[in-house]
């Protein structure tokens, strides 16, 4: 819904206008802080006072720190260490060691060693624990006339556990920076020597616990291995016994011989089969060789070769000698045949000798051929016998191979049992050797020393921090307080929120009667009213508004006081001014001016003129129509033709007619009255009237077509306003003497 601004005729949507996001400059923040300096100063003083009391009551604390290095590689002498070692060289394991140091068990051990339950600091902490809260309120109970309940009685064990809880939760800090294997064990107490003792004792207890943990692991491993050895040994014996029995039952007797390739495991039957197979191969080769020779002989006998070319014949020493002899005889015969006749006795003798040698050669060749034939037959018979024996042995070997499958399974089980037993035995021996040489996987590289100065933050540092924190809280409180302010503070806010001009800021009057005189006794007030008067007179150059309706969103905004001041300002300036009190439910014009109220508009009858109702303000020559108030038929009166005729008559005799009307949101009267007004002025109380209610009131006026000239802010504090407004208010505050 749009609202017409008389100054420029623009249509402004009050509730639905898209507002630009508010930009907060540093100067504006400074202005806010300067306006709220009293609040800031008060908050800082209160917070610093409380902080100073608390800091003064603090007891200085001292920090002592011992450094422990985690190193699991030092004692890694065997693979068994991987089983019994309590930590590993990675950050996850280091964090595990940190958790071990923080454990309740170590805290109890340290508390027992140092007898912490008898230390005053720890005794007081035990007293302040939940079980001892009643004793802390004993003074308050005494003031109330009630006897404090008896303090709980704790056993020594309960005190020890309570001291350990205080130590672990309040006095101890265990830190690792996740970049190294160094753990810092830090103790913070009121006694510097006690802090050093706690840190060193904690480190010593942890190292002892670490060694004890490894010793326990070794003992458990020894016990476990000892229990495992006897069953493993029995299992190995049983497995080997099964292998031996199975060999004996199935005749799997092995012949173990050493060769260049290592030990070979062969059964007797397998060895016999291999030897017989080799003999079979040799017999077959011999038979084939003899058959080849026999075939050559047969070919020679058929005339396709020479018997003397047979290798066996050639290789016979006797035949070689006979052939040599035959060759010699042949040589002699050839020599004699050339010189002698055929009947020569020597030649005949040589020929007879040659025939005899040839016969002997033929006889030897025949014997060789016969021997070869016999050898072929014998080789065939031997080969056949070996073949039969080999076939029988092959059947036995096949049966034995089936039995060897199960034998291999039994042997594998025996081998596995032997390996497990041997490995367990070796580990048991290694573990026994390591038992006496166990060392913790950590060492204290830097023992804690007695601190010479208190741990930070010191009291001075706490005071400085408290001061800055108080200032920050005070600044936040000031900004929040300023942000939570629902009313209008500056003209910029008025224009941004309503889309209307801020006609002026009326300061809070020191004395109402003096202020209404509009003279130099209260010059800031007079000048502010004159400024609004000028703004209204210049609101529309074409036709200055004669009838001005003054209203507000809520009661007690100062609209009646402003209405009187505005009307008097026009009268003092020489203008003809009429002030009409139309707030018939709560009329206040007569009281403000000190007049006796008359019925005025409330008793208006048709045809009644202005002169019959007017009262004169002698001090300013202001004409006033007062009202004594009416509770019935108010809407009928304000919407009557008689009132409209009265206003129209006044237009002809006065320069300005100021109508004081009821609040917009309270009743409908002002909205009806706006129909007969040339312009409407919305009065808003500085910093008090909620902005949303002002917007709602403007929206309702716009429904009736009211012409709202602008907003007047009343009861403003010029000193506070000048800090942010920096204009007319600043001039009045700084140079008020110039206006006198």
pLDDT classification of 152: cutoffs 50, 70, 90: low
- Top-level CATH class of 61-212+439-446? alpha beta
Please report which confidence band the pLDDT of residue 427 belongs to, taking 50, 70 and 90 as the band edges: confident
**Among 72, 65, 66, which residue's Cα sits nearest to residue 94?**
72
Least confident of 16-30, 443-457, 497-511, 665-679: 16-30
pLDDT at 79: 45
Residue reference for tokens 């045949």? 337
Closest CA to 549 of 540, 560, 534, 535: 560
Task: Out of 246-255, 270-279, 290-299, 467-476, pick the least confident.
Answer: 246-255
Collapsed DSSP state (helix, strand, coil) of residue 550: strand
**Tokens for 54?**
């608390």
pLDDT given for residue 367 in this prediction: 77
Average pLDDT of the residues in 109-120: 90
Strand partners, 684: 713
pLDDT at res. 139: 57
Distance of CA 343 to the CA centre of its chain: 138
Q: Model confidence at 337, in pLDDT bands (50, 70, 90)?
A: confident
Q: How confident is the model at residue 140 (pLDDT cuts 50, 70, 90)?
A: low
DSSP code at position 738 = G
Specify the fold of 488-634+654-735.
Rossmann fold (3.40.50)
Q: In what order do the strands lie in the sheet with 182-189?
A: 172-175, 182-189, 62-70, 442-446
The answer to whether 582 touches 625, Cβ cutoff 8 Å, is no
At residue 519, does pLDDT exceed 60?
A: yes
The average confidence (pLDDT) of the chain is 80
Confidence of residue 9 (pLDDT cuts 50, 70, 90): very low
Question: What is the arithmetic mean of pLDDT over 561-587?
Answer: 92
- Name the percent of the chain lying above pLDDT 70: 80
Average pLDDT over residues 550-567: 94
Q: How confident is the model at residue 436 (pLDDT cuts 50, 70, 90)?
A: low
* Domain ranges, ordered by start, for the chain: 26-45+49-55+458-482, 61-212+439-446, 264-421, 488-634+654-735
Q: What is the pTM for the complete model shown?
A: 0.50
Tens digits of per-residue pLDDT, 477-495? 888 877 777 888 888 889 9
Q: If you average pLDDT over residues 21-28, what whole number do you get?
A: 61
Give the CA radius of gyration of the chain.
Answer: 66
Distance separating alpha carbons of residues 570 and 633, to the nearest angstrom: 32
Residue 228 CA to its chain's centroid (Å): 47
Q: Which residues pair with 257 in a beta bridge?
A: 264
SS3 assignment for 361-378: HHHHHHHHHHHHHHHHHH
Q: What is the per-residue pLDDT across 623-653, written as a single tens digit (0 to 9) for each?
A: 999 988 766 788 888 889 999 999 999 999 9
Higher local confidence (pLDDT), 279 or 208: 208
pLDDT of residue 306: 67
State how far the alpha carbon of 11 is from the alpha carbons of 259, 406, 679, in Å. 118, 108, 15
Shortest CA distance to 63 belongs to which of 189, 198, 204, 197?
189
The predicted pLDDT at position 622 comes to 93
Long-range pairs of 80-85 with CB within 8 A, sequence gap ≥ 24: 80/221, 80/427, 80/430, 80/431, 80/434, 81/434, 83/217, 83/221, 84/214, 84/217, 84/218, 84/220, 84/221, 84/431, 85/214, 85/217, 85/441
CB 313 within 8 A of CB 319: yes
């Amino acid at each position: 819904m749009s609202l017409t601004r008389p100054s420029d005729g623009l249509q402004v949507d009050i509730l639905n206008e898209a507002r630009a996001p508010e930009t907060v400059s540093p100067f504006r923040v400074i202005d806010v802080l300067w306006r709220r300096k009293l609040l800031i100063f008060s908050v800082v003083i209160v917070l610093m006072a409380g902080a100073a009391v608390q800091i003064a009551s603090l007891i200085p604390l001292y920090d002592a720190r011992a450094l422990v290095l985690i190193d699991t590689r030092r004692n890694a002498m065997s693979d068994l260490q991987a089983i019994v070692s309590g930590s590993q060289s990675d950050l996850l394991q280091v964090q595990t060691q940190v958790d071990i140091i923080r454990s309740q068990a170590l805290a109890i051990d340290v508390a027992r060693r140092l007898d912490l339950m008898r230390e005053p600091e720890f005794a007081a902490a035990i007293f302040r624990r939940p079980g001892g809260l009643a004793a802390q309120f004993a003074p308050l109970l005494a003031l109330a006339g009630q006897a404090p309940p008896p303090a709980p009685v704790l056993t020594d064990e309960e005190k020890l556990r309570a001291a350990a809880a205080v130590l672990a939760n309040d006095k101890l800090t265990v830190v690792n920076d996740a970049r190294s294997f160094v753990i810092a064990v830090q103790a913070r107490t009121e006694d510097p020597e006690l802090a050093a003792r706690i840190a060193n004792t904690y480190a010593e207890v942890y190292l002892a616990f670490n060694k004890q943990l490894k010793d326990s692991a070794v003992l458990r491993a020894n016990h476990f291995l000892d229990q495992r050895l006897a069953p493993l040994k029995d299992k190995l014996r049983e497995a080997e016994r099964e292998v031996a029995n199975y060999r004996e039952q199935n005749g799997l007797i092995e012949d173990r011989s050493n060769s260049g390739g290592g030990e070979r495991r062969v059964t007797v039957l397998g060895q016999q089969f291999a030897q017989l197979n080799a003999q079979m191969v040799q017999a077959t080769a011999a038979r084939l060789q003899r058959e080849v020779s026999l075939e050559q002989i047969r070919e020679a006998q058929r005339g396709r070769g020479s018997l003397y070319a047979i290798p066996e014949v050639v290789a016979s020493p006797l035949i070689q000698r006979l052939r040599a002899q035959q060759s010699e005889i042949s040589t002699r015969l050839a020599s004699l045949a050339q010189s002698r006749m055929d009947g020569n006795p020597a030649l005949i003798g040589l020929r007879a000798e040659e025939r005899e040698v040839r016969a002997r050669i033929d006889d030897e060749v025949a014997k060789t051929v016969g021997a070869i034939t016999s050898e072929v037959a014998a080789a065939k018979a031997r080969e056949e016998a070996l073949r039969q024996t080999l076939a029988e042995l092959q059947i036995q070997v096949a049966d034995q191979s089936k039995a060897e499958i199960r034998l291999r399974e039994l042997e594998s089980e025996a081998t596995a049992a032997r390996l497990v037993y041997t490995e367990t035995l070796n580990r048991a021996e290694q573990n026994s050797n390591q038992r006496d040489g166990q060392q913790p996987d950590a060492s204290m590289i830097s023992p804690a020393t007695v601190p010479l100065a208190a741990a930070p933050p010191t009291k001075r540092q706490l005071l400085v921090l408290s001061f800055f924190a108080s200032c920050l809280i005070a600044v936040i409180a000031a900004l929040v307080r300023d942000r939570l302010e629902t009313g209008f503070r500056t003209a910029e806010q008025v224009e941004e929120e309503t889309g209307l001009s801020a006609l002026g800021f009326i300061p809070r009057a020191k004395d109402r009667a003096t202020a209404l005189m509009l003279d130099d006794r209260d010059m800031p007030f007079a000048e502010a009213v004159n400024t609004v008067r000028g703004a209204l007179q210049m609101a529309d150059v074409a036709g200055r508004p004669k009838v001005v309706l003054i209203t507000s969103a809520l009661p007690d905004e100062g609209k009646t006081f402003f209405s009187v001041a505005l009307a008097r300002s026009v009268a003092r300036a020489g203008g003809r001014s009429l002030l009409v009190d139309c707030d018939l439910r709560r009329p206040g014009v007569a009281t403000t001016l000190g007049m006796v109220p008359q019925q005025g508009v409330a008793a208006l009858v048709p045809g009644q003129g202005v002169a019959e109702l007017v009262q004169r303000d002698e001090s300013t020559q202001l004409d006033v129509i007062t009202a004594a108030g009416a509770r019935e038929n108010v809407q009928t009166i304000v919407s009557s033709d008689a009132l409209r005729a009265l206003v129209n008559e006044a237009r002809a005799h006065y320069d300005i007619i100021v109508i004081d009307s009821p609040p917009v949101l309270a009743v409908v009267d002002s909205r009806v009255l706006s129909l007969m007004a040339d312009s409407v002025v919305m009065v808003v109380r500085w910093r008090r009237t909620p902005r949303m209610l002002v917007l709602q009131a403007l929206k309702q006026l716009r429904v009736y077509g009211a012409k709202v000239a602008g907003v007047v802010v009343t009861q403003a504090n010029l000193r506070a306003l000048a800090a942010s407004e920096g204009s007319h208010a600043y001039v009045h505050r700084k140079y008020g003497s110039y206006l006198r």
